[in-house]
Amino acid sequence: MSQPPCPRLGPRRPSRHRFPLLRGVLAAVLLLGAAASGSAQAARAEPGDAPVFWVDPDSAAARQADEWWGQGRIEDALLIERIAERPQAVWLNDDEPGAVVRAKVEAAERAGRTALLVAYFVPDRDCDGYSSGGARDAAHYREWIDDFATGLGTTGAYVILEPDAVAHMVAGCEDADADERYALLAHAVERLKRQPDTKVYLDAGNAGWIPDERRLVAPLRSSGIDEADGFALNVSNFHTDEESADYGHRLAAELGGDKHFVIDSSRNGNGPYAGTEAWCNPPGRALGTPPTTATGDAALDAYLWIKRPGESDGTCRGGPRAGQWWPEYALGLAERARG
């Protein structure tokens, strides 16, 4: 269900910075028009509410905005900047992640921000779905996690650990060994938490996947939730903030009442799709609440954009392969959002 990010597409272009006055005027016009429609959720938090997290200046969305500015597609460029100018997670899903981790956390530190990273390499990842892959075996994964953690150094980061890994086992993943997977996740939590100022959120699926949250309790405990800072919900999915928060509170209560959580709000502005394959590039969706730690909920640590808006869920509904940038889909998400 969850996807890695798209590959680098080349160097940034400076075109969108050539007309700052024009950009400001057009942005104001577009925002006034957007105020009359779109998601009320996305209006809750402005970009200024998220001073903690780093914005990658070389994201696919940023490069797309640059390209469209250069082509004179000004309205489209401004819409895509609703994605490009907000912090999003960096997904680590290739071998030897340490150098990339180090580069990202150091870039964030220079900017006075904190990097948001996703560790996505567990064996039998995505259970033969669109984003299948991962480590060859348990030993390979332990080496990978050690390299990831070493890359963090003493800088610290927010790490979302293995989207879907626990929920897939609970729902049924025939090719994976449950005991081995849970032991690997527990090892990953322990290893990452050795790094100073690193927060680790173990993924716990979403509110629609395992409706009875009690089924997750034993697997999460076996996977190291007690040592983690909390759990992550709604990664790459579309359930509303309210539905996800309610689910999070119920799950936290089942875990003993003191666990915190984060919610992926990247694409949930219009809530879930009612048709088939609701998780895979569903039509009519919108950007959700911008990333912020100002949630107004003591147990909810942050709304985050973990799934990078505009990256495909897989080759469904005409989309490219999982994790690749899809500008038309990104534009639709931005057009339907408010704020």
- What are the catalytic residues? 126, 164, 313
Question: In terms of DSSP H, where are the helices of 89-159?
Answer: 98-110, 138-152
Name the nearest CA neighbour of 162 among 231, 88, 208: 231
Across-strand partners of 201? 160, 230
Question: How far is residue 253's CA from residue 259's CA, in Å, rounded to a whole number?
Answer: 8
**Neighbouring residues of 17: CB distance < 8 A, sequence distance ≥ 6:** none
Task: For 176-202, give the DSSP string.
Answer: S-HHHHHHHHHHHHHHHTTSTT-EEEE
3-state secondary structure of 158: strand
Q: Are 327 and 24 in contact (CB under 8 A)?
A: no
Q: Are 155 and 127 in contact (CB under 8 A)?
A: no
